[in-house]
Structure 1
Amino acid sequence: MGLKYRNELKFMINYHQYFTIRQRLKALMKRDEHAGPNGEYHIRSLYFDDIGNTALDEKLGGVSDRVKYRIRIYNMEDKVIHFEKKIKKNEYIAKVKESLTRSMVDELLHGNIEILNVPDKPLFAELYDEMKHRLLRPKVIVDYVREPYVCANGNVRITFDKELRSGLSSTDLFDTELGAVRALDENFIILEVKFDEYLPGYIRDALQMEGLQRQSASKYVICRKYIKMNSWEDQ
């Protein structure tokens, strides 16, 4: 089966815009079933990059076709862990992912890449090759709270990502005392809009606000740049 590419639009919004847009969307979309009682869940990702920081440099350089690798967990639990490859082609994104166990994550973070030497799993085989030959390694933890909404019409998913934080000196995904610090001003929220072939007009109308402009809001880049500014990242 070929890759399923989707549209992805990103915006940096303030709290006034957030409250206005959220109020509109509540009447048009459903809360994601994975959200907790307060309509949110927590995401923590560990991003990887190679010895040349290719993912970071390509994003900063505006390269239209690029990839990022990350391990992602939810609500600080180890029931669902994925190693993901996010593929970007112009305005479209696709994901490839494989499940990991907690023990596999622990092995990886201790430098044992042989657990990925699994030829019949293409993503693992690719990661193994990247780690062996391009020295792909953990670079930064990206931590935030997500408020998601979904709509079957157009397979739309809209998320408000808040409290973006970064772990300054650790790559331990399950560290409850990580000491993550804000990497983005607390007055800003990242709005992401994902859909398949089309975005229904009534949802597009609900997103219209004066001053709302698309931005290249990469949480990975924001956190990497924050760490660099604070001189914690190994060069």
Structure 2
Amino acid sequence: MAGEIFSRYEIKYLIPFELYETLAERLKERMSFDKFGDGEGRYTITSLYFDSPNRDIYFETKNKKRYRQKLRLRIYNSATLQDNAYLEVKKKYKKRVNKRRTSINLAEAYKYINNEVAGEDVINISNRQIFNEIDSFRNLYDLMPDNIVSYDRQAFSGIEDEDLRVTFDYNLRCRKDDLRIENGPHGIHFVDPELVILEVKVNFSVPLWLSQLLVELGCEKKSVSKFCTTVELLEGEEFTEKHNIAVR
């Protein structure tokens, strides 16, 4: 997956699987399949998420702090220790999402996150400046590997507006017993398998034709945090009751 810096708005919806199929067919009239996917824009994402001992990242996200950020190590489809992954920080400020990432050799990434090598000694990265920002963020929060989220995605790109993207995420699973992303997308479902997370990603505003299509098909906006939902499921009732968390 190309690109290291992204800045955009991301509008989320939670829709039934059959509605996803209908909407995907309609999008073919105005959009093309993501060039980084297979012939129909499909690929699998597996991400290792980080949090602090006090779960600062979880609570900043859950409480919708005006400025919040997350760290993750991500691969697309499959990878071995000899392949590259993406180490990325995702920041959100006043509803705008900013993502900065660097590719990194997966074996080297594990040495770094397991504190076997200091940040300044990490090699095989594509962007040293972004890595230094990530390293500072990780050290500030004392971030450590926490859980893995994986899902299948079908993605579309705008034909007239190349910055427009629409993604459908389904088969969403999570785990914390195996924190090796090269072991593939497995775990327990944290979203009903009959539901799909739809995201519309734009630089400024959603095109009128797409807004009208979403209204026509009855798509309703619904904020869904993959990270928070995963934490709540994996930590269980004791965690949610202790912190008086209403689980969706």
- Whole-angstrom distance in 1 between the partners of 2:41 and 2:133: 36
Cα distance per residue 1:99-119 (max 9 Å; x no partner):
10122123135332514557x
What is residue 105 of structure 2 aligned with on the other side? 101
Cα distance per residue 1:31-84 (max 9 Å; x no partner):
001111353101001111122211210111121221111111011125441111
Q: Does 1:171 align with 2:175?
A: no
- What amino acid is the match of 2:235? K
- Whole-angstrom distance in 2 between the partners of 1:13 and 1:116: 44
What is residue 142 of structure 1 aligned with on the other side? 149
What is residue 63 of structure 1 aligned with on the other side? 65
- What amino acid is the match of 1:198? S
The equivalences for 1:36-185 within 5 A come to 36-78=38-80, 79-116=83-120, 121-154=128-161, 155-176=163-184, 179-185=186-192
Unaligned runs of 5+ in 2: 240-248
Q: Residues 159 and 179 of structure 1: is their aligned pair in 2 closer, same or farther, counting only changes over 3 Å?
A: closer
Contact 1:28 1:203 in 2 (8 A): no
Number of residue pairs matched by the alignment: 228
Contact 1:5 1:93 in 2 (8 A): yes
- Whole-angstrom distance in 1 between the partners of 2:86 and 2:142: 20
What SS does structure 1 have at the residue aligned with 2:231? Answer: helix
| CA RMSD across the alignment | 2.4
Contact 2:9 2:204 in 1 (8 A): yes
Identity %: 26
Contact 2:8 2:96 in 1 (8 A): yes
Shift of 1:20: 2.1
Contact 1:153 1:200 in 2 (8 A): no
Bigger mean CA deviation after superposition, 79-88 or 223-232? 223-232
What SS does structure 1 have at the residue aligned with 2:134? Answer: helix
What is residue 218 of structure 1 aligned with on the other side? 225
After TM superposition, the score normalised by the length of structure 2 is 0.82
- What amino acid is the match of 1:212? C
- Whole-angstrom distance in 1 between the partners of 2:113 and 2:107: 10
After TM superposition, the score normalised by the length of structure 1 is 0.87
Contact 1:148 1:157 in 2 (8 A): yes
